[in-house]
Structure 1
């Protein structure tokens, strides 16, 4: 008798319920485990916001001060939590303001779902008030998008949106919903998506390729690993660590791969790329085997492709087939999730140490330390440097903070010198290089990892692009620590002007406001540091605070970031000064 009752109860729970499209959207979000949304309301999305009002106890909405801030906050949340970030906006300018964040998420493989309102179906194509073709606009910068014009489409499309955003190589998805579809009713029933025809998010590993890769690794004299964000997205950190330790292979990271392997691990030899470490760049052209794991051979990593690792065999571990042989021709391609493929590889790998080869990295590091690092973190000149600020943050945070950076000189310095013990600790705009990213992304990161310290390190230029998001920090008491490294310039552009344009500083000098007063206007504790003797105490006080905190540090105006590979040059042409 109890079995019959139980079956009846299950049947009743699965019976479709007639609700509005707007309410259906909320139920879809709840079914996907969403509990936090970033957004900005407006006319075309108002029915959804009206339903959202009724579910405040289950679904928190964060009112950002600009729709771009909503996407970056969703990115920060996704990157640090491993979940899908969600942003919502109205039609027209609300929707178009999401595009920069979508593009950033696309190139950096960040899973977010953006929901936009749209004019009613009968007005589509009529140039109605605040109508824009956001599906057409966002097609090049999304993994998938779709316009819903009927309420009945909502459950299936929303389920697909979350599945596509988070599966395989993650990315942004946009769902545009006409206003009539929000008002109309449907028989609601939701099933999570588990697959889409013709979409294969994670290719099955080929053991033949894995065995070929193992043979190359076991026979190499100078093997070298470059790992990227694919290790973090694939949750393959332990497998990477086991590989480098078992095979004795030096490993360097791309800017988005930072924190996948402890920065103090003896096999971690630093950062590759335009402002990466000297040894990892130069020795790229001396290794006999280059093992790329979860990275895409971006031009900022490779420099001139004509001279990149031409002497080496190349193995590419990658989940996205489109990245294979796109920029660099490889000898062995291992397709699939990095965790899965590395687990299959490890039993085939011989133990090794490669002591002489690893010593080459130590020698190059000594050269870089003497020429660059020492003066960056232990400067003798009067003015403060960005490097010593990052070094003090390392000490005060015990290498356990999430560091969120914007774009420019401060970004390169922070990524060069920040120390991490835990994965998902470096949040930055890599491929798109979006100024204004850091402040809203730090808000999302803190909400995604509320128990961790989150420090936003930002330049004075990028900070002012999304400075209005201080309102979110104030309204929701988000305990983000904000450090603005102020050199009164657009620093990276100024550096290029100095080095390549005879110091013609065209439109790079900044006349800045009083940042401390602005922070205080948002009721955020703030102070300014201009002298070295005040730096350690200020950072210690900031890190000890349980509240939001703003710290402006006045740094050298014409301090450059080295090493540097000139644009289009070989990695071997990296400059130390």
Structure 2
């Protein structure tokens, strides 16, 4: 059969249910194979939208997402989603077309060196040099994407090789001797960690996105409840521990709660699970958690002690390690009263510094209230995606997530334009759940074209725009750190989002009154098909609390 038909057989063998992509000259043979393959293909309007949709699908389902692009600009349009997937450890296989082999290196029409361009931002990449390589490369790509620390894998296929005839035999064995992720964790280190927990008087469990990737939320909850261990989560881990819960301190980091950040600052033991101590968490690194010893659990050995030295490093899968750590802790005779003083301190911070905001005195909608209204209108049961900016932080602060894979956003790369296509992918992957994209009026325009994809395919996402007429987070920084010098952040009131929605075949709604906002949102969410809701919010509201750049957690403002 043709190599591209073998490629389709490989996708089906991997359980691929849907592919997001856009055809072009170099991948025309592949799209001819789609004609008879029986695999659902969603035609996106921009390759970046397809890449982010594949990410949203992967984050919502836990399965490997798949995105296709042609050569040249089609492939380079995927670079941002590839980098985004790398930063957030998202399992996506990107399959790009390439010019014919005799044109490679000649600057041929729509040639781009995708292997070279993406080398720093992929978990692995394959440049097909013979058509017989295609089946095994596809299966190895899926294996690499989903195992160990998940991540993006690129397969670049020259057009002439993709249309060649090959003898196809299913690939059933994947042997990669140089790739053997350690998933078990060292039992001696786990025993030491359990003893450290038993002796700690001010412990904090600090969960990152790796807990969600490992499907380890139940194990995290079991460890937390094996004693009264306080739990905080990064932006990427929201939902890994149920909110609200008495042991839940809220999100930590630059816009986290004071209770979470102050607890980290005064902790004597921090157990980091699937987290990487990035700058948005630590603030000024030299002053981060100065009293603490660190247990660091991560499946990627490169993350251990990368930013913060680990006193007890444990390389392994979070699900396996947490279960064994909880079992080991249960065998110890820990003083169950030793945490009383610690909880009294934490509860004092909660009372003194609750997460709050100043609501409007009239009918104006504050953005924080808008997020609370979305939570009430959805019953807290929706999958929520976001773009990047102030609305993302307000969503993280004021929408309580009871389960993992309900919160889908771009963390490490901070990609504006992520929200709408990610919502599209999530809705395709989990069609029986309401999917809401909370967007800013700046971010949403970066991939608004995918509203057409949603309309054509009847993907019923609800896009709620917190419209303040600014690039809000940049404006906030200019206010706080650049003497109110607002440079190039005023977006005005363009476009008319209701008309834009209608032009794309969606329902458009504008809301401005907080007194009816919850009921209006309920009605919008109940509307069939894709809906765009333009919620006009306070123009110059800021996200607080906040750790100023370069400052320590104890110096939060707002």
- TM bucket (normalised to shorter chain) is over 0.9
Separation in 2 of the partners of 1:547 and 1:164?
36
Q: How many pairs were matched up?
A: 552
Deviates more, 1:326-335 or 1:190-199: 190-199
- Does the Cα contact within 8 Å between 1:21 and 1:185 map onto a contact in 2? yes
Counterpart Cα distance in 1 of 2:342 and 2:362: 36
Q: Select the residue among 453, 460, 469 that pairs with 1:488.
A: 469
- Corresponding residue number in structure 2 for 1:313: 293
How far is 1:381 from its partner? 5.7
Decide whether the 8 Å contact of 1:442 with 1:454 is kept in 2: yes
Corresponding residue for residue 86 of structure 2: 106
Partner of 2:348: 363
The CA deviation at 1:202 is 3.1
- d(CA) in 1 for partners of 2:314, 2:3: 43
Cα 1:140/1:254, change in 2 over 3 Å: same
Separation of aligned partners in 1, 2:373 and 2:272: 32
The CA distance in 2 between the partners of 1:142 and 1:293, in whole Å, is 23
Indicate yes or no: 2:57 matched with 1:77.
yes
Q: Contact 2:265–2:554 (CA<8 Å) still a contact in 1?
A: yes
Partner of 2:237, secondary structure, is: coil
Q: What is the DSSP-based 3-state SS (H/G/I as helix, E as strand, rest coil) of the residue aligned with 1:174?
A: strand
**1:367 CA displacement:** 2.5
- Structure 2 counterpart of 1:43: 25
Match of 2:482 among 501, 507, 523: 501
Q: SS of the residue aligned with 1:185?
A: coil
Cα pair 1:282 1:574 within 8 Å, conserved: no
Looking at structure 2, the residues matched to 485 and 510 of structure 1 have their Cα atoms a distance apart, in angstroms, of 13
Q: In the aligned structure 1, how far is the partner of 2:443 from the partner of 2:518? A: 25
Superposed displacement of residue 519, structure 1? 0.4
Q: Deviations over 1:89-119 (max 9, x none)?
A: 1000000000000000000000000001111
Distance change in 2, residues 1:162/1:192 (3 Å): farther
Task: Select 1:426's aligned residue among 392, 407, 410.
Answer: 407
> Which whole-Å deviations, capped at 9, do the CAs of 1:234-286 have from their partners, x for residues lacking one?
11111110111112100000000001111112211100110111111122111
Partner of 2:206: 226
Q: 1:526: Cα distance to partner?
A: 1.7
Contact 2:474 2:489 in 1 (8 A): yes
2:456 maps to 1:478: no
Instruction: Pick the aligned partner of 2:317 from 334, 337, 358.
Output: 337
CA distance in 2, matches of 1:568, 1:335: 30
2:398 is matched with which residue?
A: 417
- For the pair 1:27 / 2:12, whether they are aligned, the reply is no
State how far apart, in whole Å, the 2-side matches of 1:120 and 1:263 are.
53
Task: State how far apart, in whole Å, the 1-side matches of 2:172 and 2:113 are.
Answer: 28
Residue 554 of structure 2 corresponds to: 572
8 A Cα contact 1:410 1:458, kept in partner = yes
Deviation at 1:379, TM superposition (A): 4.2
Q: Does 1:202 align with 2:182?
A: yes
Paired position in structure 2 for 1:86:
66
Query: Does the 8 Å contact 1:386/1:485 carry over to 2?
Result: yes
TM-superposed CA distance for 1:421, in Å, is 2.0
Aligned to 1:290: 270
Deviates more, 1:67-76 or 1:224-233: 224-233
Q: Is the 8 A contact 2:202 2:269 kept in 1?
A: yes
Q: Separation in 1 of the partners of 2:352 and 2:532?
A: 36
How do 1:175-574 and structure 2 match up within 5 A?
A: 175-350=155-330, 352=336, 354-369=339-354, 373-375=356-358, 378-380=359-361, 383-511=364-492, 512-574=494-556
For the structure 1 residues 175 and 193, does the alpha-carbon distance in structure 2 shift closer, same or farther, using more than 3 Å as the test? farther
Does residue 169 in structure 1 map to residue 154 in structure 2?
no
Of residues 383-392 and 490-499 in structure 1, the stretch that sits farther from structure 2 once superposed is 383-392
Distance 1:32 1:226, change over 3 A: same
Residue number in structure 2 paired with 1:6 = none
Gapped runs of 5+ residues in structure 2?
A: none
The gaps in structure 1 that reach 5 residues or longer are 1-18
Q: Secondary structure at the match of 1:560?
A: coil
Residue deviations 1:343-390, cap 9 Å, x none?
111122156362331232222222232xx5142xx5436531111111
Aligned-partner SS, 2:294: strand
| Most deviating of 382-391 and 262-271 | 382-391
Q: Secondary structure at the match of 2:508?
A: strand
Moved more, 441-450 or 535-544: 535-544
Contact preservation (8 Å) 1:400, 1:422: no
Shift of 1:204: 3.1
Q: Deviations over 1:1-29 (max 9, x none)?
A: xxxxxxxxxxxxxxxxxx11111111111
Question: Does structure 2 conserve the Cα–Cα contact (< 8 Å) formed by 1:20 and 1:151?
Answer: no
Distance, in Å, in 1 between the alignment partners of 2:311 and 2:176 is 31
**Structure 1 residue 210 displacement after superposition:** 0.4
Partner of 1:97 in structure 2? Answer: 77
Correspondence for 1:16: none
Please give the root-mean-square deviation of Cα atoms over the aligned residues, in Å: 1.2
Residues 25 and 155 in structure 1, CA contact (< 8 A), matched pair in contact too:
yes
Evaluate the alpha carbon distance shift between residue 65 and residue 147 of structure 1 in structure 2; reply closer, same or farther with a 3 A threshold. Answer: same
- From 35, 47, 50, the equivalent of 1:53 is 35
Bigger Cα displacement from structure 2, 120-129 vs 95-104: 120-129
TM-score (norm: length of structure 2): 0.97
Q: What SS is found at the alignment partner of 2:479?
A: helix
State the distance in 2 between where 1:396 and 1:363 align.
Answer: 32
Q: Determine if contact 2:184/2:320 at 8 Å carries over to the other structure.
A: no
